[in-house]
Amino acid sequence: MHPFDRAIALEPLGQSRFAGHTSADYQNMVGPFGGITAAVLLNAVMQHPDRLGEPTSMTVNFAGPVPDGPFEILARPVRTNRSTQHWLLEQWVQENGQPAIATTATVLTAVRRPTWSATDCPAPLLGGPGPDQAPTIITHFTPWLRQYTLVPLEGDMPSEWDGRENAESLSRFWVRKTTPRTLDFCALAAVCDIFYPRTWLRRAHQVPAGTVSMTMYFHAGAQDIAQAGDDYLLAQARGQEYRNNFSDQSGLLWRTDGLMLASTHQMLYYKQ
């Protein structure tokens, strides 16, 4: 079983409840990688017998710590229309022997039909050197980072934390799973959280920082996502505003042929 599938595995308990378990493979410095939490929550929607359509937007709020061990997800379709469905999700954990909400999420699934389509954000750098022409990096800094193989293009994590401020917060890189696995909605949700805090890049100063809320817009259907196979995705992120403990950043993910698969935004807490 692929480590990702192990990490998002759920046992249906009926009545919109699912049992899951944290995975050592996707551990971050404290608790699980936020992307894997988004993925396992989305998996509850994917497995729900009443689901209508495919994920179109999702917001995940990291409300409290997820301790190592079992957790339970409540994934309720609260409104079903003709072609759209709105979901409310809660991830419950045990904290000091008491049940507590660690994560909340909302999801929109929709039946989408072919329409006029266009992009305002064509994939940059396509036609230049591809991911196979450059050295790859597997970072062993935290367990979850080992799950991804990166080809840095620009805006890589500072090699020296010397506090010299950068004018730019733009990062671009190729990314794929280290152990090959065909892309799907859950894997795409996870990779939306691949971007490290823009404060680190701007300040060359590694203050404690973490995502508090993440939104994902899915621009492709299951077939278009599956066509990415286990190949690289082109990933780009930029910061917007850094002010009084909170900063926001936005990311884009394209297939190697330039099709945008997802756009993503997040608000992060940072100290000092």
CA-nearest of 191, 210, 111, 86 to 149 is 191
Looking at this protein, which amino acid is placed at residue 78? Answer: V
Q: Does 121 participate in binding its own copies (rule CB under 8 A)?
A: yes
Site of tokens 């909170």 = 246
Q: Does 227 participate in binding its own copies (rule CB under 8 A)?
A: no
Q: According to CB under 8 A, which one of 22, 213, 225, 255 is a site residue for its own copies? A: 213
- Distance in Å, CB of 166 to its own copies, minimum: 10
- Distance in Å, CB of 206 to its own copies, minimum: 13
Q: Does 260 participate in binding its own copies (rule CB under 8 A)?
A: yes
DSSP 137: B
Count CB-CB contacts under 10 A for residue 34: 24
Name which of 162 and 165 has its Cβ closer to its own copies: 165
Q: Does 48 participate in binding its own copies (rule CB under 8 A)?
A: no
Footprint of its own copies on residues 88-107 (CB under 8 A)? 88, 90, 100-102, 104-106
- Distance in Å, CB of 204 to its own copies, minimum: 12
CA-nearest of 67, 91, 86 to 76 is 86
219-225 contact pairs (CB < 8 A, 24+): 219/260, 219/261, 219/262, 219/263, 220/255, 220/259, 220/260, 220/261, 220/262, 221/54, 221/112, 222/54, 222/184, 222/185, 224/255, 224/259, 224/261, 225/183, 225/184, 225/185, 225/188, 225/261
Q: According to CB under 8 A, which one of 26, 195, 200, 270 is a site residue for its own copies? A: 270
Q: List phi, psi (to 5°) of 77.
A: -75, 110
DSSP 32: B
- Distance in Å, CB of 99 to its own copies, minimum: 12
- Distance in Å, CB of 4 to its own copies, minimum: 25
Count of residues that interact with its own copies, criterion CB under 8 A: 65
Between strands 171-177 and 148-154, the pairing is antiparallel
- Distance in Å, CB of 95 to its own copies, minimum: 10
Q: Does 169 participate in binding its own copies (rule CB under 8 A)?
A: yes
Q: Which residues bind its own copies (CB under 8 A)?
A: 56-57, 59, 61, 63-64, 78-79, 81, 84, 86, 88, 90, 100-102, 104-106, 108, 110, 112-121, 165, 168-169, 198-199, 202-203, 212-213, 215, 217, 219-221, 238-246, 248, 250, 252, 260, 263, 265, 267, 269-272
